Amino acid sequence: MQALYSAPETLIRTPSHYCPGCGHGIAHRLLAEIIDEWGIRGKTIGLAPVGCSVLAYNYLDIDMCEAAHGRPPAIATGIKRVHPDNIVFTYQGDGDLAAIGMAEIVHAASRAENITVIFINNAIYGMTNGQLAPTTLLNQRTTTTPEGRDPLAHGYPIRICELLATLEGTSFLARTSLSSPKNVSQTKEALKKGFKTQIEKKGFSLIEVLSPCPVYWRMSPVESLKFIEEEMTQTFPLGVFKDWEKAISAPGGQATKV
């Protein structure tokens, strides 16, 4: 008998600390699959953020570094400058990347730092019990916006891909989602493209992944996938915003349909 499908070797078989229905497990697995398929385990160095995925190194059998909140792009810069031929990626949530770490991500992008950023956007602070994130949708209820996000009081959601697309230093920017098998497989393709960008030394790549957080969205896992498709993508349209291979450049943020 021939095994047609098995867990990737790079994915460590251990009980998950993530909540039921969370998207992190899928994103981790996609990363592990790519590392296995491309045989790059010995060259890859990952950065775990502060947030739910702080323990990402419990699941990925590669060299990894834990980062202070928001600082993965700065630490990745330091690592990449020492090992320019290694593949260095950061794995960051929306609080880490778009709130406390906004300066680091914008400047790493503007320097065309040759790293890949995996940006998990679930529009909420999961680890600290569901507070407002910079990507929380308008009217979305969180523990710190109990009546819903009011733009006059809490500001508007930040669109990272659109924002970074205005920078000449970015080479590949895409937004995907984990809401369906098709979208999961497009996410994997986008992640591959991010790594390819780095391997070919084309500069900064970021893949924003819309990911479910059923527990703090107060929804069932199935409802949360529907929420991504029907609500989140209204504010965060899927697509490719920058692609050095296809000369897609979208200053101001118009996405090209994938």
Q: Which residues bind other proteins (CB under 8 A)?
A: 41-45, 48, 54-55, 57, 61-68, 71, 74-83, 86-87, 103-104, 106-107
Closest to other proteins by CB, 101 vs 212, is: 101
CA–CA separation, 54 vs 67, rounded Å?
8
Backbone angles phi, psi at 43, to 5 degrees: -115, -10
Q: What is the distance between the alpha carbons of residues 230 and 141, in angstroms, rounded to a whole number?
A: 17
- Please say which residue, 103 or 222, places its beta carbon nearer to other proteins: 103
From residue 70, give the alpha-carbon distance in Å to each of 3, 49, 137, 171, 253.
41, 7, 21, 22, 23
Q: Could you tell me the smallest distance in angstroms from the CB atom of residue 207 to other proteins? A: 21
Nearer to other proteins, 86 or 131 (CB): 86
Spatial contact of 173 and 242, defined as CB atoms under 8 Å apart:
yes
CB of 95 to other proteins, least distance (A): 16
Smallest distance from other proteins to CB 58, Å:
9
Q: Kindly state the smallest distance separating residue 244's Cβ from other proteins, in Å.
A: 23
Cα–Cα dist 61/66, whole Å: 14
Q: How far is CA 54 from CA 31, 174, 257, in A?
A: 16, 23, 32
Query: Least Å distance between CB 31 and other proteins?
Result: 14
Cα distance between residue 16 and residue 190, in whole Å: 25
Q: Which is nearer to other proteins, 71 or 175 (CB)?
A: 71
**Which residues share a beta bridge with 72?**
none
Could you tell me the smallest distance in angstroms from the CB atom of residue 27 to other proteins? 19
Q: Which is nearer to other proteins, 107 or 154 (by Cβ)?
A: 107
Q: Which is nearer to other proteins, 72 or 239 (CB)?
A: 72
